[in-house]
Amino acid sequence: MAKYNPPKINKELDYPEFAQVIGWLITAFVICPIPIMFLYKLYQAKGNLLQRLKTITTPTTEWGPNDGSLAHEIRMDYIAHGGKHGLDNPAVVFDN
């Protein structure tokens, strides 16, 4: 089972409780929108529970090359950049 150990400034001194609370609030602020939006979309969808889950987890036709016609172009773009750099940002070049 997981056990919470408060973060330490050095090996002996814990961070103050208010700082830990601020850290947990920031974490909650970042993580909470994910399950909240899931529940909201699940509530909005039509049908029984299984149909709702399928609806909200299936990509729309506007998302990506859903028919596979552009898959070749995506691979060619990757090959054009040598296939060794980031696909999201081909301008990034790492010195070896």
Whether pTM exceeds 0.75:
no
Answer whether 15's CB lies under 8 Å from 8's CB: yes
**Range 26-33 average pLDDT:** 96
SS3 3: coil
Question: Residue ranges of the alpha helices (H) in 1-96?
Answer: 17-31, 33-44, 49-57, 71-80
Highest mean pLDDT among 5-14, 29-38, 83-92: 29-38
Lowest average pLDDT, out of 27-31, 49-53, 69-73, goes to 69-73
